[in-house]
């Protein structure tokens, strides 16, 4: 018994002894840590303080005397050029928008973008599209940054959120030209209107977004009513979730109601559904499958016309800089206006860097029972300056 | 109708109950530091998966959802995420995390930065980051600054937890300091040893440990190697006695493998971020990092 007590006593003593220097060391360590954290804290505070408050003024405007400071306030200026060499077995007729228009060299578009935050409440994006002999305001709109939670408003001229293809700029297309049905129903350059958009990100654990636009409705592929009350009303509901860690899926439906230019008060309705699947197993491997169906119904004098069609494509990134894509277009689902048409489009894309792109594309286009039209494009795209990414 | 309403309420339930500070880190490493400092008072998520290249990411709608509910966004700054983050911050329509608000935290602040461009730059230099190399977290001393930065922002957002964050920060920094000592002992022999890296992403690590990067597999940032550059690398490896090729696991391994085989030097594939190779936190990540490189030198 005594022995046990002794052992206990000894071990306690040894424990206490060994504890003492440790505690002292720890204490020193914490003091040191405190000081270090204090030093970093004040360093961080200094880093956020403005470097110099010297200002110059021109008239009513004050700006920092530091030249570099001024430059930081410039909007992001960027330019994207799109050129294509094209061959058509029969050259296309009518408006082609930014698509290659004839056998030979084509300037598809040069897009100049100015983008900046305006103040704590707004940002603005302006994109000018230059073709060979005209300049057009492709988009120019403000976006609110501090609306009550979940709401956002855009105003100005913008691509209407109808489906997926219509919202994308040429440089974000996975092919050198527009999808067939989009061209016929929403116009060769897409449906871009002057108006306002209110959108709401519904506060749920998954993505569910409602967008509504109210605009002039001047786009004359399906709209363009001439009376003063002929506005265009359009909406979109989209949802998206991750299927697995590596992939995500998006579904959207869109609708547009307006008036067309076939006669006073004639109405047009366009409906669309789209699905996008993205798979990205590795840093430089990805697969995109995107499909979209469009249906249009419009009054044309006494009768009502209907047409519909779809496109569906896959784009596979098989190496960091290489993509292979295949698109299928089909009109006449369920009915067509002039003739039933389908088109098959394989494409191969090479991005030497993030800022240039080379694309070869072939197209097999068959209208009714006419001879098929073969075409081939070699597209070159370059991008200079800090071009803000577009929404997905 | 009532049923639908109830269902919607049910879906919103998780939003209403949780009173924790919601933190979104773009990279797993930022999320992991936030977890260390924030403990139980925060709910942390990340956007980029550990096996992805933070420069090239497809913005997904689910990112927008995460950002729309965030109280604090932690990003690397120095234009690391410039290709995909700005548009989704706008789409998230969350005034709390807009640029230049207290909820938008640039973690490069106060960091010791390398490779800040002097004079005029253009992209003939490749995908350059003029404000400095953005892969700052590979220096543990920068991570210390990030932790302090995060704790300051958490304390401002959640003043009740100020003492809690200060305590956790102290514990983390003290542990990190011990780790730094250990790592500096482990890497004492790295000084002056010559290596080749894939991308300019390990500059902070090599600067800290004294490893000498004599070239990169990419001839210029973001540009894959040409066969000419591969030949140059081969002669450089034999001329300057390069010890190893280092690369993060998500880069294409074909060319580095070829180089390693031809030159008879080891290729070290290191985990690129917390979570890669099952690493559980910053300490484990760096432990694995150092262990693997040490084994090859």
Nearest to A389 among B15, B68, B87 (CB): B87
Helix (H, G, I), strand (E, B) or coil at B187: coil
Question: Is the distance from CB of A162 to CB of A314 less than 8 angstroms?
Answer: no
- What's chain A look like in SS3? CHHHHHHHHHHHHHHHHHHHHHHHHHHHHHHHHHHHHHHHHHHHHHHHCCCCCCEEEECCEEEECCHHHHHHCCCEEEEEEEEEEEEECCCCCCCCCCCCCCCEEEEEEEEEEEEEEEECCEEEEEEEEECCCCEEEEEEEEEECCCCCCEEEEEEEEECCCCCHHHCCHHHCCCCCCCHHHHHHHCCCCCEEEEEEEEEECCCCCEEEEEEEEECCCCCCCCECCCCCCCEEEEEEEEEEEEECCEEEEEEEEEEEEEECCCCCCEEEEEEEEEEEEEEEECCEEEEEEEEEEEEEEEECCEEEEEEEEEEEEEEEEECCEEEEEEEEEECCCCCCCCCEEEEEEEEEEEEECCEEEEEEEEEEEECCCCCEEEEEEEEEEEECCCCCCCC
Any CB–CB contact under 8 A between A29 and chain B?
yes
- Tell me the count of A-B CB pairs closer than 8 A: 143
Whether residue A37 and residue B149 make contact (CB cut-off 8 A), yes or no, is: no
pLDDT tens digit sequence for B153-177: 999 999 999 999 999 999 999 999 9
Residues of chain B with CATH 3.40.50.1980: 19-182, 187-296
Q: Which residue in chain A has the smallest CA separation from B11? A: A204
Contacts of B195 (CB under 8 A, 6+ apart): B206, B211, B212, B213, B214, B242, B243, B244, B245, B246
Place of tokens 């109601």: A257
What gap in Å lies between CA B87 and CA B65, rounded to an integer? 13
| Residues of chain A with C-beta less than 8 angstroms from the C-beta of B174 | 29-30, 33
H/E stretch holding B196 reads strand B194-197
Start-to-end C-alpha separation, chain A: 79
Q: Residue B272 — very low, low, confident or very high, per pLDDT cuts 50/70/90?
A: confident
Q: Which residue in chain A has the smallest CA separation from B9? A: A204
| Residues of chain B with C-beta less than 8 angstroms from the C-beta of A201 | 64-65, 68, 91-93
Any CB–CB contact under 8 A between A143 and chain B?
yes
The ipTM value here is: 0.84
> Smallest CA–CA separation between A165 and chain B, in Å?
16
Give the per-residue pLDDT at B8: 57
**How confident is the prediction along chain A (392 residues), in pLDDT tens digits per residue?**
555 555 555 554 444 444 444 444 444 556 788 888 988 988 888 765 544 445 555 555 555 555 566 677 889 999 999 999 999 999 998 888 899 999 999 999 999 999 999 998 999 999 999 998 899 999 999 999 989 878 999 999 999 999 999 999 998 999 999 999 999 999 998 999 999 999 999 999 999 999 999 999 998 899 999 999 999 999 999 999 998 878 999 999 999 999 999 999 999 999 999 999 999 988 889 999 999 999 999 999 888 999 999 999 999 999 989 999 999 999 998 888 889 999 999 999 999 888 899 999 999 999 999 999 999 999 999 998 877 665 55
C-alpha A145, offset from chain centre? 17
Whether residue A283 and residue B152 make contact (CB cut-off 8 A), yes or no, is: no
What gap in Å lies between CA B67 and CA B46, rounded to an integer? 10
Place of tokens 């109280």: B71
Mutation site for B-interface testing, chosen from A51, A389, A390 by largest number of B Cβ within 10 Å: A389
> Smallest CA–CA separation between B152 and chain A, in Å?
8
> Smallest CA–CA separation between B136 and chain A, in Å?
16
Mutation site for B-interface testing, chosen from A164, A207, A283, A388 by largest number of B Cβ within 10 Å: A283
Whether residue B127 and residue A120 make contact (CB cut-off 8 A), yes or no, is: no
Contacts of A254 (CB under 8 A, 6+ apart): A161, A162, A163, A234, A235, A236, A237, A270, A271, A272, A273, A274
Give the per-residue pLDDT at B14: 47
Q: Tell me, which fold does domain B187-296 have in CATH?
A: Rossmann fold (3.40.50)
Section B98-116 average pLDDT: 91
Write phi, then psi, for B145 (nearest 5 degrees): -65, -40
Give the per-residue pLDDT at A74: 87
Whether residue B145 and residue A40 make contact (CB cut-off 8 A), yes or no, is: yes
Give the per-residue pLDDT at A240: 95
C-alpha to C-alpha distances, B296 to A18, A203, B104, B213, B288, nearest whole angstrom: 39, 50, 40, 15, 12
Whether residue A392 and residue B59 make contact (CB cut-off 8 A), yes or no, is: yes
Residue A143 pairs in a beta bridge with A123, A154
Nearest to A44 among B93, B99, B148 (CB): B148
Q: Which residue in chain A has the smallest CA separation from B94? A: A149
Place of tokens 């286009």: A365
> Smallest CA–CA separation between A71 and chain B, in Å?
13
**pLDDT more than 70, % of chain B:** 94
What gap in Å lies between CA B227 and CA B249, rounded to an integer? 22
Whether residue A240 and residue B174 make contact (CB cut-off 8 A), yes or no, is: no
Question: Is the distance from CB of A353 to CB of B127 less than 8 angstroms?
Answer: yes
Give the per-residue pLDDT at A48: 59
Q: Residue B284 — very low, low, confident or very high, per pLDDT cuts 50/70/90?
A: very high
Domain A145-384 CATH (choose: 3.40.50.11060, 2.40.160.10, 3.20.20.210, 2.60.40.420): 2.40.160.10
> Smallest CA–CA separation between A216 and chain B, in Å?
24
Q: How is chain A split into domains, by residue range?
A: 145-384
Mutation site for B-interface testing, chosen from A28, A32, A36, A40 by largest number of B Cβ within 10 Å: A40
pLDDT tens digit sequence for A283-301: 889 999 999 999 999 999 8
Section B56-84 average pLDDT: 91
Torsion sign across C-alpha atoms B199, B202, B229, B254:
negative
Any CB–CB contact under 8 A between A36 and chain B?
yes
Superfamily classification of domain B19-182: Nitrogenase molybdenum iron protein domain (3.40.50.1980)
| Residues of chain B with C-beta less than 8 angstroms from the C-beta of A352 | 223
| Residues of chain B with C-beta less than 8 angstroms from the C-beta of A116 | none
What gap in Å lies between CA A97 and CA A118, rounded to an integer? 31
Task: Work out the angle at residue A163's Cα, subtended by the Cα atoms of residues A158 and A164, and round it to the nearest 5 degrees.
Answer: 80
């Amino acid at each position: 018994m005594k022995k046990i007590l002794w052992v206990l006593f000894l071990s306690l003593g040894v424990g206490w002894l060994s504890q003492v220097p440790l505690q002292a060391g720890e204490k020193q360590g914490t003091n040191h840590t405190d000081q270090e954290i204090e030093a970093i804290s004040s360093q961080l505070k200094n880093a956020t303080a403005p470097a110099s408050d010297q200002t110059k003024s021109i008239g009513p405007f004050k700006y920092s005397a530091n030249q570099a400071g001024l430059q930081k306030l410039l909007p992001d200026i960027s330019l994207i050029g799109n050129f294509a060499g094209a061959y058509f077995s029969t050259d296309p007729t009518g408006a082609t928008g930014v698509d290659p228009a004839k056998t030979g060299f084509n300037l598809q578009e040069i897009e100049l973008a100015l983008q900046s935050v305006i103040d704590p409440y707004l940002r603005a994006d302006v994109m000018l599209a230059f073709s060979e002999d005209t300049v057009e305001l492709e988009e120019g709109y403000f976006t609110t940054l501090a609306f009550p939670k979940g709401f956002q408003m855009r105003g100005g001229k913008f691509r209407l959120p109808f489906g997926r293809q219509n919202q994308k700029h040429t440089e974000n297309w996975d092919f050198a030209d527009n999808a067939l049905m989009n061209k016929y129903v929403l116009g060769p350059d897409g449906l871009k209107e002057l108006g306002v958009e209110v959108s709401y990100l519904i506060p749920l654990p998954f993505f569910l977004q409602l967008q509504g636009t109210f605009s002039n409705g001047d786009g004359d592929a399906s709209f363009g009513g001439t009376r003063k009350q002929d506005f265009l009303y359009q909406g979109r509901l989209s949802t998206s979730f991750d299927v697995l860690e590596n992939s995500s899926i998006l579904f959207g439906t869109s609708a547009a109601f307006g008036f067309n230019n076939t006669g006073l008060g004639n109405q047009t309705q366009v409906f669309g559904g789209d699905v996008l699947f993205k798979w990205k197993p590795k840093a430089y491997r990805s697969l995109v499958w995107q499909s979209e169906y469009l249906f249009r119904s419009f009054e044309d004098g006494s009768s009502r016309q209907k047409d519909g069609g779809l496109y569906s494509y896959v784009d596979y990134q098989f190496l960091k800089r290489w993509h292979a894509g295949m698109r299928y277009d089909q009109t006449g689902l369920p009915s067509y206006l002039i003739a039933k048409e389908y088109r098959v489009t394989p494409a191969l894309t090479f991005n030497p860097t993030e800022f240039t792109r080379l694309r070869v594309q072939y197209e097999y286009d068959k209208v009714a029972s006419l001879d098929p039209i073969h075409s081939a494009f070699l597209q070159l795209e370059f991008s200079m300056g800090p071009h803000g990414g577009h929404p997905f | 109708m009532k049923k639908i309403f109830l269902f919607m309420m049910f879906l919103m339930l998780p939003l209403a109950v949780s009173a924790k500070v919601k933190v979104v880190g773009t990279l797993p490493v930022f999320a992991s530091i936030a977890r260390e400092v924030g403990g139980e008072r925060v709910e942390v998520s990340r956007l980029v998966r550990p096996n992805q290249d933070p420069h090239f990411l497809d913005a997904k709608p689910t990112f927008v959802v995460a950002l729309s509910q965030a109280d604090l966004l932690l990003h690397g700054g120095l234009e690391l995420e410039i290709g995909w983050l700005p548009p989704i911050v706008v789409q998230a329509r969350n005034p709390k995390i807009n640029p230049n608000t207290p909820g938008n935290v640039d973690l490069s602040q106060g960091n010791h930065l390398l490779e800040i461009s002097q004079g005029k730059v253009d992209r003939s230099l490749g995908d350059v980051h003029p404000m400095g190399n953005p892969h700052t977290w590979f220096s543990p001393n920068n991570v210390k600054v990030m932790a302090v930065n995060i704790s300051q922002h958490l304390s401002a957002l959640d003043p009740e937890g100020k003492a809690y964050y200060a305590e956790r920060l102290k514990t983390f920094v003290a542990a990190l300091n011990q780790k730094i000592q250990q790592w500096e002992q482990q890497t004492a022999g790295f000084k002056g040893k010559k290596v080749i890296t894939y991308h300019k992403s390990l500059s902070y690590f090599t600067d800290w440990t004294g490893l000498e990067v004599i070239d990169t597999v990419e001839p210029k940032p973001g540009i894959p190697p040409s066969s000419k550059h591969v030949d140059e690398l081969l002669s450089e490896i034999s001329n300057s006695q390069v010890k190893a090729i280092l690369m993060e696991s998500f880069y294409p391994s074909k060319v580095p493998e070829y180089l390693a085989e031809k030159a008879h030097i080891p290729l070290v594939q290191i985990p690129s971020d917390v979570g890669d190779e099952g690493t559980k936190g910053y300490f484990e990540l760096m432990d694995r990092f150092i262990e693997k490189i040490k084994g090859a030198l």
